[in-house]
């Protein structure tokens, strides 16, 4: 009993602090508030990140042993990748070595080795970023002085629409079907068609093919759903939009939530330097006035 009383007496101040903290804890945000915060965080990243797509001068997609060059004296605004650079021209050379990118000066001396997510600042202040994909390695050339990034005022979205957070029935295919998507740069990306989503909107039956570009099981499993609707090419991007459906329990048949407020444009809608899937199917007979709107011309 003595030990129990002592433990209780010692615990009381901590309990008081805990209850006080709970009383003053921020309330759980509503779905609309959570959506607005996510959007604000994303826009802040675009505005502030040194590797934002807003400050991209150019992007190269390197196949195995591929390389590009860069004139270290080029003015920031005019700097572009030089394809298949000739040796001895005083250029920086960026070459792919497996999933790593090596930066060399005009004498062949290594200046940097960059993996996925790495970046390096060139002598003239331009930033190189690396992203390793399943089929190629992309190398971005960023201008930290970019007027486009400084002038960015945010993305254009439809107002939050709680009625476009829909419950759909997902029927998984017995076996994932390999799919090859054509991209905006006339390249290809491979994925799997894994099933069909069905829901009813204002009395209209709707169906969307669902794909997987990553794992089908584990905490990072998700459905990738490109779609077009009655707003496409008018109020929303002409190439269609995407919505991702996280399925941390794995991709299996059953009811799922499709939040069209989180529908987003492919990156090629925002910059000509990206390599995006533009799927011609999945045309909905209704208007989805939620998610990202058409971007300004680039």
pLDDT digits (tens, 9 = 90+) for 214-269: 888 888 899 999 999 999 999 999 999 999 999 988 899 999 999 999 999 999 99
Q: What is the percent of the chain where pLDDT is above 70?
A: 90
Locate the DSSP E strands across 145-295. 165-182, 188-201, 204-212, 222-227, 241-246, 254-259
Residue range 58-117, pLDDT digits in tens:
999 998 889 999 998 888 889 999 998 887 678 999 999 888 899 998 888 999 999 999
Q: Is 242 exposed, middle or buried (0-12, 13-18, 19+ CB in 10 A)?
A: buried
Six token digits for residue 135: 């089929």
pLDDT value of position 298? 58
Dist. CA 233–CA 189, nearest whole Å? 24
Please give the pLDDT value at position 6: 37
Residue 9 has pLDDT above 70, yes or no: no
pTM, two decimal places: 0.85
| pLDDT value for 187 | 82
**Biggest CA-to-CA distance, the chain:** 85
pLDDT at 27 exceeding the cut of 90:
no
What's the rounded mean pLDDT across residues 201-213? Answer: 97
């Amino acid at each position: 009993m003595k030990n129990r009383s002592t433990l209780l007496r010692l615990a009381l101040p901590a309990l008081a602090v805990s209850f006080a903290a709970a009383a003053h804890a921020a309330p759980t945000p509503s779905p609309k508030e959570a959506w607005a915060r996510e959007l604000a965080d994303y826009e802040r990243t675009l505005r502030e990140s040194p590797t934002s797509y807003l400050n991209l001068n150019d992007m190269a997609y390197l196949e195995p042993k591929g390389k590009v060059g860069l004139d270290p004296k080029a003015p920031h605004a005019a700097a572009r990748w030089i394809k298949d650079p000739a040796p001895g021209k005083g250029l920086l050379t960026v070459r792919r070595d497996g999933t790593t990118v090596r930066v060399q000066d005009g004498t062949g001396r290594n200046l940097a080795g960059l993996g996925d997510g790495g970046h390096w600042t060139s002598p003239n202040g331009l930033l190189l970023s690396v992203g390793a994909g399943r089929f190629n390695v992309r190398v971005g050339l960023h201008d930290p002085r970019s007027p486009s990034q400084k002038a960015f005022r945010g993305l254009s979205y439809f107002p939050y629409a709680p009625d476009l957070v829909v419950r759909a029935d997902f029927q998984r295919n017995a076996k994932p079907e390999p799919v090859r998507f054509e991209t905006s740069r006339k390249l290809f990306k491979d994925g799997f068609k894994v099933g069909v989503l069905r829901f009813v909107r204002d009395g209209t039956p709707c169906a969307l093919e669902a794909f997987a570009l990553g794992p089908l099981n584990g905490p990072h499993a998700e459905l990738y759903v490109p779609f077009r609707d009655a707003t496409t090419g008018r109020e929303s991007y002409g190439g269609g939009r995407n919505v991702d459906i996280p399925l941390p329990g794995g991709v299996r048949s059953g009811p799922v939530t499709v939040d069209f407020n989180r529908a987003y444009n492919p990156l090629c809608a925002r910059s000509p330097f990206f390599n995006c899937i533009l799927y011609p199917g999945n045309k909905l007979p209704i208007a989805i006035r939620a998610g990202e709107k058409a971007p300004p011309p680039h």
